[in-house]
Amino acid sequence: MKCPQCGNEMALDAHRKIPLMMCYECGYIEGRKVEPKVKGETNYEHLKKLNFNEMVAFLSKKLNMPEERFAAWLDDEA
């Protein structure tokens, strides 16, 4: 029997009261829900890809601040 999570061969785990099939590669046990492998992008990863104007728009929206004021604050050389 193939593991639905990683695709490796599963083995019978007889150390339990009721023997179950278990994958020793990823730890999946028969009857458990298969978790999707979806990796979301963090805000930091997203910011690294943006140019200055896109970054100002993104951060000003998160901070509830006008874009012009936020851009002026970033450009300030005080």
Burial tier of 10 (Cβ tally within 10 Å: 0-12, 13-18, 19+): buried
What is the pLDDT of the chain when averaged over all its residues? 84
E strands, 1-78, are 11-13, 20-22
Give me the domain span that covers residue 69: 43-75
Confidence of residue 77 (pLDDT cuts 50, 70, 90): low
Calculate the CA 26 to chain-centre distance: 18
Regarding pTM above 0.85, the answer is no
- Quick one: 1 and 20 in the same domain? yes
Q: To 5 degrees, how large is the angle CA 59–CA 64–CA 68?
A: 70
pLDDT tier, 78 (very low <50, low <70, confident <90, very high otherwise): low
pLDDT in tens, 30-52: 888 777 666 778 878 888 888 98
Same-domain pairing of 49 and 21 = no
Q: Do residue 7 and residue 29 come from a single domain?
A: yes
What separation in angstroms does the CA of 52 have from each of 12, 37, 59, 60, 69?
56, 32, 11, 12, 14
pLDDT (tens digit per residue) in 51-67: 988 888 988 888 898 99
